[in-house]
Amino acid sequence: MTINSFRLAVAQLNPTVGDVAGNAELVRQARADAKAQQSDLVLTSELMLAGYPPEDLVLKPAFVRECMETARALAEETGDGGPAVILGTPWYSDAGDLHNAVLLIDQGEVKAVRYKSDLPNYGVFDEKRVFKAGPLPGPVDFRGVRIGLPICEDIWNDEVCECLEETGAEILLVPNGSPYWENRAEERLQVVVARVVQTDLPLVYCNQLGGQDELVFDGGSFALQADRSLAFQMPQFETALGISDWKRDGEAWTCTSGSVAKLPDLDEANWRACVLGLGDYVTKNGFPGVVLGLSGGIDSAVCAAMAVDALGADKVHSIMLPFRYTSEESIKDAADCAKALGLRYDTVPIAEPVEGFTKALDGLFAGTEAGVTEENLQSRTRGVILMAVSNKFGHMVMTTGNKSEMSVGYATLYGDMNGGYNPIKDLYKTQVYHLSAWRNANKPAGLLGPDGEVIPSNIITKVPTAELRENQTDQDSLPAYDVLDDILECLVEKEMSVGDIEKRGHSRDLIHRIEHLLYIAEYKRRQAPPGVKITERNFGRDRRYPITNRFRDRS
């Protein structure tokens, strides 16, 4: 049987790693919706049944067997005459090798199996550790249409798609697990354009949605015609089922219908990535909500706004934890922020427990001058109280340190670093300020927070301070944040030499100092909770520096 037209449903879904039954139900529901719209074929994302990335979970044979058994059960269900499904799953070959695979299931059986050939092993990816690379694939036959099924990384080089084109593929359908970072959508488009130019074949790019630990998958599935024009574009940061019609014209396939969604600008994309990552981390891990210290500063205010956007105000509990150095201005700003967001706000003074710790240490600290140690006791006391509230009521503690602070160690272990997740961990301080003003002027559809000013303007305009001593400001020990962030971006994202950074107008002594702070804070970052990846190079999965490290750039 050869068909000259078919209707394709692209299922942009939000799976949960390890929830095989739940992920299968997502596929089942997408297939039912596609069937109701008279679709012939459903395309799902990479490793849909396992969730992506499954990491070492796929080294557990029982997990892989459950994925394979579930895939076969879904294949049997396609015997109802409804649409076929392209399904991503881990799979053992006949030789017993473990592969990142995609199946074509149709008419009650597994019609074809293809394996990912190019396994990524850089940045956030580590697939060579768990999967065996497959051979260069040939196309599969779907009711007379020869479909190429490269998997994600397979299209980032020319070899796999060249092989598919040379062996007769007529159209390329690509399951992807491509995580978000800034300008990632444009980068994907450039890669797809290159493959379409190379093969003269239309290409459909189906991407996963949702948060998985540090990674956020933004969806944004799309297709290009063989002439490189846009066939359809699905939204970012939303589950969706995209329906398109395809028609054979001679030997070529053309998309004849498909909607085009407007993609968000960079500010909206960054905000929504933080919100999606936080929301999925909380809900997928079964927390009833979150609790955070609301200090009256910019970082905690932005985190509170993101939490309300992600979860709703009823699931966010804020606590002001004042000490003698906490200003009336900060107390008012925190209260105003909580009121604007509509969330619960309590006050727990910390003077008594801090003084208790100080008294307990009087003997050990006799003859020494008060300083950073005593300041950090305030932060650690706040951490203890927030963790106690979490233990009592089950809410996850959110941490609120930005990337600038995490870079140079301007955060207290077992204090403000206590908690389970940090939505702004990969945002520099200047980005936090920028996004706070953006959110006051914008609220994307689908977010649960209120419209209008949710972060009081005074929080944005006042001088930042940790308020751990009298008249303290961040700039007592750090350069201005625009200077600091530029140096940090050069050191972290770009791995630039001190000499090259100096050419940007920065003092060599300052660069050396920031580099030193960056290196010696590595041990703190290893103990920090996960947080959303936003930049091209986040701390953790992307940047794996040794803790013990005496190198300093003297160029």
Residue tagged active-site, from 67, 152, 303, 337: 152
Known active-site residue 152: yes
Residue 524 assigned ligand-binding role: yes
Residue 59 assigned ligand-binding role: no
With b for 16 or more beta-carbon neighbours within 10 A and e for fewer, the 305-338 pattern comes to bbbbbbbbbebbbbbbbbbebbeeebeebbbbbb
DSSP per position, 196-218: HHHH---EEEEE-EEEETTEEEE
Residue 293 assigned ligand-binding role: yes
Pairing of strands 290-293, 316-320: parallel
Residue 257 assigned ligand-binding role: no
Cα angle 283, 284, 287; round to 5: 45
Residue 507 assigned ligand-binding role: no
Cross-strand bridge partners of residue 246: 6, 255
Q: Can you say how many angstroms the Cα of residue 362 is from the centroid of all Cα atoms in its chain?
A: 45
Burial class (CB in 10 A: 0-12, 13-18, 19+), 194: middle
The whole-angstrom separation of Cα 109 and Cα 104 is 9
Known active-site residue 46: yes
Pairing of strands 222-224, 203-207: antiparallel
Q: Which of 282, 323, 249 is nearest to 423 (CA)?
A: 282
Own/partner pairs, 458-462, CB within 8 angstroms, 24+ separation: 458/329, 458/333, 458/336, 459/296, 459/297, 459/298, 459/301, 459/333, 459/337, 460/298, 460/433, 460/436, 462/329, 462/333
CB 298 within 8 A of CB 282: no
Amino acid at 465: T
Residue 400 assigned ligand-binding role: yes
Burial class (CB in 10 A: 0-12, 13-18, 19+), 549: exposed
Sign of the C-alpha dihedral computed for residues 221, 227, 231 and 233 taken in this order: positive
Residue reference for tokens 């909607």: 259
Residue 300 assigned ligand-binding role: yes
Residue 184 assigned ligand-binding role: yes
Residue 295 assigned ligand-binding role: yes
Residue tagged active-site, from 66, 116, 161, 255: 116
Cross-strand bridge partners of residue 215: 212
Known active-site residue 490: no
Residue 358 assigned ligand-binding role: no
Residue 100 assigned ligand-binding role: no
Residue 376 assigned ligand-binding role: yes
Residue tagged active-site, from 46, 127, 502, 515: 46
The whole-angstrom separation of Cα 77 and Cα 92 is 22
Helix, strand, coil in percent for the chain, rounding step 5 = 40, 20, 40
Residue 277 assigned ligand-binding role: no
Q: Which of 388, 488, 510, 513 is nearest to 431 (CA)?
A: 488
Give the three-state DSSP class for 98: strand
Q: Specify the DSSP element, H or E, that contains 5.
A: strand 5-12
Residue 405 assigned ligand-binding role: yes
CB 400 within 8 A of CB 278: no
CB 88 within 8 A of CB 46: yes
Residue reference for tokens 């941490």: 399
The whole-angstrom separation of Cα 399 and Cα 98 is 38
CB 532 within 8 A of CB 278: yes
Residue 298 assigned ligand-binding role: yes
User: Do you know the residue count of the chain?
Assistant: 555
Residue ranges of the annotated binding site are 122, 178, 184, 293-300, 376, 400, 405, 524
**Binding site, annotated residues for deamido-NAD(+):** 376, 405, 524
Binding-site residues for L-glutamine sit at: 122, 178, 184
* Residue list for the binding site for ATP: 293-300, 400
Which residues are designated catalytic? 46, 116, 152
